[in-house]
Amino acid sequence: MEGWTGNYLRVNLTKQDVKRQKYSEEFAKKWIGGKGFVTKILWDELKPGIDPLGPENKLVIALGPISGVIAPNTGKVQVGAKSPLTGGLGDGNIGSRVAIQLKKAGYDFLIIEGKAVKPLSIYIIDDEVMFFSAEEIWGKGTYDTLNWLYDKYSRNVGILTIGQAGENKVLYSIIRSMEGRAGGRPGIGAVMGSKNLKAIVVKGTKEIAIANPEGLKKIGIEGLRKERELDKEVGWSIQGTTGILSWLNEVAALPVKNMRKTFHENAWKIDGQRVSEARVATYGCPNCSMHCGIAILDKEKKLAEVDYENIGMLGSNLEIFDLPQVASLNYLCDDYGLDTISAGGVLAFYADAIEQGAIQGSFKFGEPEKAKELLKKIAYQEDEGKLLALGTKRMAKQIANKSEAYAMQIKGLEISAYNCKFVPGMALAFSTSSIGAHHKEAWIILYELTKTIRESYGKDKAEEVIRLQRIRMGLFETIIACRLPWVEVQLNKDYHIQCFNNATGLNYNMHDFEKVSDRIYSLYRAFWVRENPNWDRNWDYPPEIWFDPKNADKKGIIIGKVLEKEKYEQLLDYYYEIRKWDSRGIPKKQSMKELDLEEEMIELEKYTSLK
Amino acid sequence: MIKIKLKIISHLIYKTGFGERDLELPQPVTIEELLTKINLENKIPMVIIRNGKVVDLKEQVQDGDRIVISPFFFGG
């Protein structure tokens, strides 16, 4: 095998035992890497019904066949486990030097099992794997932890670590890797914490075996150069992801006040222009030539990296329009190791529930200092922080009083920063995203405004969602590379496909990746169904409030408009039809056979009937 | 003479030199003509929103309009 190393490490924390194992070429070609590996391994190795925070859960850290090579955006890793937040399968994609170092150490993935008796860190250097006590860094935030590890191992090593939130098993804690880089929204950091694993440090010194090194070097460097040229021409990274905020405000899709409102007159105070003017540093992932991480000084004069999602969820959604204060909230989430999107969603839901009289409390929208106190209480699971650490879905169950209608989550994962009360296709994208309400696999708001009309529930919208899921996940999260150059500056995705072919010696085209994507999507769905045998289509619906006419905007450009239930049903049916899933949203037998998922089909049939 | 409000979004402001401006025009123009006046070449894909609705380049600008010009966004 070339491109892939064909090796992985199985690390058992209970026994402090490490096995170096090989996997087959067939497995590599069928699942490619990244999300594909995570999905298949966890399907095969996790028994249904296990406690996601128990030692039976496994943490998979997976690379792709182009990870670590000199080519555009190859410095990312996939992390996955059974999610403690959603109860389904969960994963995330993180910019990290681990992508390079683990590949050079000679491995394509790690499977981490069991639970350490006391806090541990793992240090992998090529063939050696060592366990160290992490008691000196347990309890530290991610900034101090990273600095402590940098001092000990140098800045060039790859690191994955958690903050206090992960240690204390907050259900939406993430894994942090380097400056501003974090991922694993569905509580993958809590899984790491539940295993008493504080950090994974990786150093590799080997050559990466490549099928066609000259071809890869040529296309890789050309791709990096083209990416830089395109970004310079377009000017995208001047504001990075934050450039979209004021546009969403104009088109009435900004999350404001727990997504009850779609725009705000003060949104300009936290928009991309203000962020860019406040920039004091720029961060990026390894092997990227269009760095998007803009770091600004927060209220306490600390350096905080801000992105659109963070500003949307911790700013406008909380009605906080003071940029340094929003940056402070962002910094605290990063330091505690909390997912910024879910943290923003949880705080907004809490303020909303208090305002509606569903629960007693003193937190209101527009209160950054109280929001900071609450983030700390969440990270340490203190006072009302215990409730807030559960995420909006569980909070709504406890609060009751009809609060479920405005708990802005799907499948237990908080909706990221796009308010879809009148954006049907994007509501579908959120509702069918494999991990719960996240935008990483499909985002179609521009399509809905320019290629069709906003109020349409046409089949083309379902087709567009699936087209994007096949590219954004099926290609970029398997080979693994960042999707942003293709998404934001239109770097031709053929660069990445050619990198894959040169690395592996194969000759895949986009059609091949579409099949891999559909296979992963179906198995991912099968995992959820196996955990929830009474699965039905209600799992694929956005929150009730987006259908509620009483929640319609009373001014602006979408007065009186909300999603329409019957038409959404039809849109969801179109989606299922294209995916060859039944009306419950479960893959049909025939489609599983076509996707070479016969064994998985037999396993799934033990839990539910298939059509 | 017509008066319009113009808002430029994201990195396009570095091409126009401003983000938001009230503009007076001697006569009604099309969006395409407006773009030329504010140094926005039509090479970069752009979304034009006139009073909250996406419009094309041939659309006529009217007195009192709010025009928002942005690059394409694809949602991170």
- E strands, A99-214, are 109-113, 120-125, 128-133, 158-161, 175-178, 181-183, 197-203
Is the pLDDT score of A362 beyond 70?
yes
Cα of B10 to nearest chain A Cα, Å: 5
At A211 the three-state DSSP class reads: coil
Specify the DSSP class assigned to residue A582: -
Closest CA to A147 of A300, A301, A303, A16: A303
| Short-list A334, A219, A229, CA closest to A290 | A229
| Structure token pair of residue A83 | 């999610």
Read off the pLDDT of residues B26-43 as tens digits, 9 standing for 90 and up: 999 999 999 999 988 767
Confidence of residue A234 (pLDDT cuts 50, 70, 90): confident
pLDDT for res A558? 96
> Which residue has better confidence, B42 or A470?
A470
**Nearest residue on chain B to A448, judged by CA atoms?**
B54
| Greater pLDDT, A341 or B28 | A341
Helix axes A323-336, A340-355, angle to 10 degrees: 120
Q: Which residues of A touch B49 (CB under 8 A)?
A: 250-251
* Sheet order of strands, B53-55 included: B20-25, B2-8, B66-71, B46-50, B53-55
Tell me the CA distances in angstroms from A348 to A149, A317, A363, A387, one per residue in order: 35, 6, 10, 14
Answer whether A95's CB lies under 8 Å from A88's CB. Answer: no
A106 backbone φψ class: left, alpha, beta (φ>0; ψ -120 to 50): left
Residue A388: pLDDT above 80? yes
pLDDT of A594 over the 70 cut: yes
Could you give the residue ranges of the DSSP H alpha helices within A480-588?
A: 484-488, 494-504, 510-531, 565-579
Scan for tokens 């546009």, then name that residue: A247
pLDDT in tens, A101-129: 999 999 999 999 999 999 999 999 999 99
Rounded-to-integer distance, Cα A323 and Cα A274, Å: 8
How many Å apart are CA A546 and CA A235, to the nearest integer? 35
CB A141 within 8 A of CB A164: yes
Size of interface A-B (CB pairs under 8 A): 76
Task: Tell me the ipTM for this assembly.
Answer: 0.95
The B residues from 11 to 70 touching A (CB cutoff 8 Å) are: 11, 13-15, 19, 44, 47, 49, 51-54, 68, 70
H/E stretch holding A421 reads none
Q: Which residue has the tokens 């150093």?
A: A203
pLDDT, tens digit, for every residue of A272-323?
A: 999 999 999 999 999 999 999 999 999 999 999 999 999 999 999 999 999 9
Please report the domains of chain B, with CATH numbers, ordered by start residue. 2-71 (3.10.20.30)
Q: In what order do the strands lie in the sheet with A303-306?
A: A279-283, A293-297, A303-306
Q: For chain A, what percent of residues have pLDDT higher than 90?
A: 99
| Gap between the Cα atoms of A137 and A130, Å rounded | 17
- Cβ contact, residue pair B10, A272, below 8 Å: yes
Identity (one letter) of the amino acid at A4? Answer: W
Q: How confident is the model at residue A188 (pLDDT cuts 50, 70, 90)?
A: very high
> What is the rounded distance in angstroms from the CA atom of residue A537 to the CA atom of residue A411?
11
3-class SS at A525? helix
Chain B closest-CA separation from residue A244 CA (Å):
7
Q: Read off the pLDDT of each residue in A237-260 and give the average, rounded to a whole number.
A: 96
3-state secondary structure of A50: coil
Q: A233 pLDDT band (50/70/90 cuts)? A: confident
Name residue A122's beta-bridge partners: A131, A200
Radius of gyration of chain B from Cα atoms? 12
Interface check for A231 against chain B (CB to CB < 8 A): the answer is: no
Contact B52 A273 (CB under 8 A): no
* CA–CA separation, A178 and A283 (whole Å): 9
Q: Give Cα A214 to chain centroid, integer Å.
A: 34
Helix (H) or strand (E) holding A94: strand A89-95
**pLDDT higher than threshold 80 for residue A375:** yes
Please judge whether A488 and B74 are an interchain contact, meaning their C-beta atoms are less than 8 angstroms apart: yes
Which pLDDT score, from 0 to 100, does residue B44 have?
79
As its CATH architecture, domain A7-203 has: 4-Layer Sandwich (3.60)
Residue of A nearest to B75 (CA): A443
Structure tokens at A409: 């989550």
Give phi and psi for A305, each to the nearest 5.
-90, 130
A246–B9 CB contact, under 8 Å? yes
Q: What is the pLDDT of residue B42?
A: 67
Report DSSP state, residue A138.
Answer: T
Q: What is the pLDDT of residues A127-173, one digit of tens each?
A: 999 999 999 999 999 999 999 999 999 999 999 999 999 999 999 99
The H or E element spanning position B47 is strand B46-50
Q: What is d(CA A276, CA B12) in angstroms, rounded to the nearest whole number? A: 13
Q: Cα–Cα distance between A552 and A422 in angstroms, integer?
A: 9
Contact A296, A304 (CB under 8 A): yes
Q: How many angstroms separate the CA atoms of A142 and A327, rounded?
A: 16
Tell me the nearest-neighbour CA distance from A313 into chain B, angstroms.
15
> What DSSP letter does each residue of A434-474 carry, written as one string?
TTSS-SSS---HHHHHHTS-TT---HHHHHHHHHHIIIIIT
Q: How near does any CA of chain A get to the CA of B63, in Å?
A: 18
